[in-house]
A = this chain, B = another copy of it.
Amino acid sequence: MLIEIDFSSDEAIYQQLCNQIILGIATSRLSDGEVLPSVRQMADEIGINMHTVNKAYTILRQEGFVKVDRRRGAFISVTERNRERALNIVEKDMRIILAQARCRGLTKQDMLMLVDRIYDEYDGEN
């Protein structure tokens, strides 16, 4: 999967990398079991340091999106199936986004439509 980093962004590189891989999984450009490039290879491709990639992989592992096998390296493995815990994790960020949306004059219908559209986009790429 093509990774594109915005070096002028205020978002940390390892964070951008995490987000893009998560987006990749959601849109099925990365499928379960698929092997990620090694930390050194990914670092070379993007043009960043090995440790920055390693940090992203470590976080993805802790968050339950990636597993590591000494033989194969890092590969996609989404294991979480605890619905309540997943909801709690998502809820805090969602509250902030919806607060911003409401302050900017967007209605509940606006947001429901946005969620509907994005989710269909993700599902549609299967």
A interface vs B, CB < 8 Å? 19, 22-23, 25-27, 64-65, 78, 80-81, 83, 86-87, 89-91, 93-106, 108, 110-112, 114-116, 118-120, 122-123
Contact = CB atoms under 8 A, between A and B. Distances in A.
A64 B65 CA distance: 36
Contact of A83 (B64, B94, B106): B106
The number of times this chain is found in the oligomer is 2
A111 B115 contact: yes
A90 B104 contact: yes
A122 to B, nearest CB: 6
Contacts of A110: 83, 87
Nearest to A15: B96
Contacts of A90: 97, 100-101, 104, 106, 111, 114
B123 A106 contact: no
A97 B105 contact: no
